[in-house]
Amino acid sequence: MNGKELKNKVKSGGIIYGSMLSMGRNPRWSTPISAFGLDYVVIDTEHSPRDRNDIADFLAAFTDSGVVPIVRVPIPDSHYVTMTIDAGAQGVLAPYCETVEEVMEVVAAAKWRPLKGALARKAVETGKLPSEASKKYLEDKNANTVCLIGIESVPAIANLENILKIDGIDGIFVGPNDLSISLGVPDQYDHPDYEEALRKVISTCNKYSVPVLIHHQTVALTTKWLKEGVRFVLHSSDARTLHSGYRTDFDEIKSVGAELGGGPVTDVGESEEVI
């Protein structure tokens, strides 16, 4: 699957599945990840300490893997967007967008690269390019680019309808930790205010036929919101899933060891990663 096929699948009513890469740095990490049955991965550079070289190597490793690599850039800035795509990303996730101007800058860079400046802004605002030849050339050049916009605060939700009027947005991303803090209910993902906010995002996006991805960390939350209309599934992260897998296996193994006199078993608990 490539970026264009990913967009087509979700637009046609299909469900796509992906996860966040917060920990992995070695390009060899892409080999086991590509065997997990995922449609895409989001490689984080907002909260994870990866530089341009790390990203370029990681993206090269995902070439021809069948998994679409998308990069969460540090801020919604055109330079980060174009650098990431030039490095080989098939998509970008711009975090914490709140204004139409921020989103237009991201969309211009993602959809009309390498056009810049006033002409790129005009392309997003009016759909007009220097010529039909330029338009066709740039559409073909950027056909695989997936553009995801982060709506992660109360002001962003208030402005969501205006943001969704911008052509070129392929999905709306919600970061639960940031949104719940903005709502005044940090990490309370069963709070009525949080659930109401998510339902507003989903219903508004449905109005504009734009899919939603919500980065929940538990199967219960991910499946709950899948049933409520999320078609662009983004579940957990490599670090958290690794933690959960080892915890589950060794809880079972240690319980048998305890029965055999190996000493008491201590539950290591859930992963504390917030990303």
CATH of the domain at 74: 3.20.20.60
For the chain, where are the alpha helices, taking DSSP H only? 3-11, 30-33, 52-61, 78-86, 100-112, 117-126, 132-141, 154-158, 160-164, 176-183, 192-207, 219-227, 238-259
Answer yes or no: is 22 within a domain.
yes
Answer yes or no: is 274 within a domain.
no
- pLDDT at position 227 is 97
Q: How far apart are CA 265 and CA 244, in angstroms?
A: 16
Total tally of structural domains belonging to the chain: 1
Q: How far apart are CA 86 and CA 81, in angstroms?
A: 9
Helix axes 176-183, 192-207, angle to 10 degrees: 120
- pLDDT at position 135 is 96
Structure pTM? 0.94
Per-residue pLDDT tens digits for 98-108: 999 999 999 99
Beta bridge partners of 213: 173
Judge whether 243 counts as a catalytic residue. Answer: no
Answer yes or no: is 263 within a domain.
no
- pLDDT at position 29 is 86
Counting as low any pLDDT under 50, the low residues of the chain are none
Q: Residue 5: helix, strand or coil by DSSP?
A: helix
- pLDDT at position 275 is 79
- pLDDT at position 267 is 83
Name the residue range of residue 50's domain: 3-237
Q: How far apart are CA 250 and CA 244, in angstroms?
A: 10
Cα 57 to chain centroid, rounded: 20
Closest among 71, 144, 150, 146 to 103, alpha carbons compared: 150
Asked if 182 and 152 touch (Cβ cutoff 8 Å), the reply is yes
Answer yes or no: is 216 within a domain.
yes
Answer yes or no: is 265 within a domain.
no
Answer yes or no: is 47 within a domain.
yes
Q: How far apart are CA 164 and CA 204, in angstroms?
A: 9
Answer yes or no: is 264 within a domain.
no
Q: Which of 47, 191, 216, 243 is catalytic?
A: 47
For 144-237, where are the alpha helices, taking DSSP H only? 154-158, 160-164, 176-183, 192-207, 219-227
- pLDDT at position 270 is 85
The CA-atom distances, in angstroms, between 212 and each of 116, 149, 193 are 28, 10, 18
Q: How far apart are CA 270 and CA 259, in angstroms?
A: 24
